[in-house]
Structure 1
């Protein structure tokens, strides 16, 4: 399965299921209408940060875009730069409200994450290398075997300031009571 085709179809289906136009989706996600259209037409591959904005705006787990239906092999998500590769370990679990990822960050790479949905808690454990994390405006370094838990609904960042790839896992807990679905808007620019 081609992940970019899966991502494009998933985004378009989620938007259409809500009855949203591309303009409405842009308002809800903070991602430009042009970029969203390119993603839906499989003309552009979003960065991990952009994909998080889209997932947050749609109020869906991140793994929705990179974990195909049960029975199919989950695929790694790596934008063309391959600076950050995200592979689902446990895609969205409806009962436990979490998903878990294996992530690699290339030497010198920086990934800034916009705040996730209110109430999201993120757990990060470094498996190899050293990971710099900015949480609540403060940078700290985690080495292999170390972890941190933090409120994912605040801006945070991941940085690899070393010459070796860092490998870590991220377990993301979503609130049990998700916000009510946002009302549909005119569908004027499919």
Structure 2
């Protein structure tokens, strides 16, 4: 986390600019002097809670906006840092790499040798995309059955019962992307 006074200053400047206010206009709206606002924006002053409340009230923003970390244009995720959902005893581990967002979710799945996981049909608008990273995966879709090897992929409408199986003697790892064509 950045030093708090730097973070507050950057957020204040961003808020002021998003409202198209000059320092003079912000000072008039908040009752905090132009030199003080400038010092806060440059991270040269550590404002008191009272001063921040005056600024928040004058600019009509929540108090916590000044302490908000900026959103990044990227997000790093590793299954090592995630707690998996267990199925089939502990023979199936599902890691939610990116939870439901707008219309999709991305899962990382480990199937131990011998694991067979039946999955009931999903609503008509759900498609699944499977990409095998390691091992061999048998996927049964309705009555159809196919075998996917490392590097192979499959897309299907998930509105039928389907099943994932690892009938090999080594772990199978695959990525599962679920796309919801209708918002939940």
TM-score by length of 1: 0.52
1:129 to 109, 114, 135: 135
> Could you tell me which residue of structure 2 aligns to residue 155 of structure 1?
161
TM-score by length of 2: 0.54
> Could you tell me which residue of structure 2 aligns to residue 105 of structure 1?
111
Higher relative contact order (Cα pairs below 8 Å, separated by 6+ residues): 1
2:90 to 65, 82, 97: 82
1:167 & 1:156 partners in 2: Cα distance?
A: 17
- Specify every segment of 5 or more residues in structure 1 that has no aligned partner in the other structure, as ranges: 1-72, 179-190
CA positional deviation for 1:135: 1.4
2:85 & 2:164 partners in 1: Cα distance?
A: 16
2:136 & 2:157 partners in 1: Cα distance?
A: 21
SS in 2 for 1:75: coil
2:87 & 2:125 partners in 1: Cα distance?
A: 27
1:90 & 1:177 partners in 2: Cα distance?
A: 17
1:93 to 101, 105, 119: 101
CA change 1:89–1:177 in 2 (3 A) is closer
> Could you tell me which residue of structure 2 aligns to residue 42 of structure 1?
none
SS in 1 for 2:173: strand
> Could you tell me which residue of structure 2 aligns to residue 143 of structure 1?
149
2:88 & 2:154 partners in 1: Cα distance?
A: 29
1:113 & 1:79 partners in 2: Cα distance?
A: 11
Equivalent residues, number:
104
SS in 1 for 2:85: coil
Larger radius of gyration between Structure 1 and Structure 2? 2
> Could you tell me which residue of structure 2 aligns to residue 19 of structure 1?
none
CA contact (8 A) 2:95 2:108 kept: yes
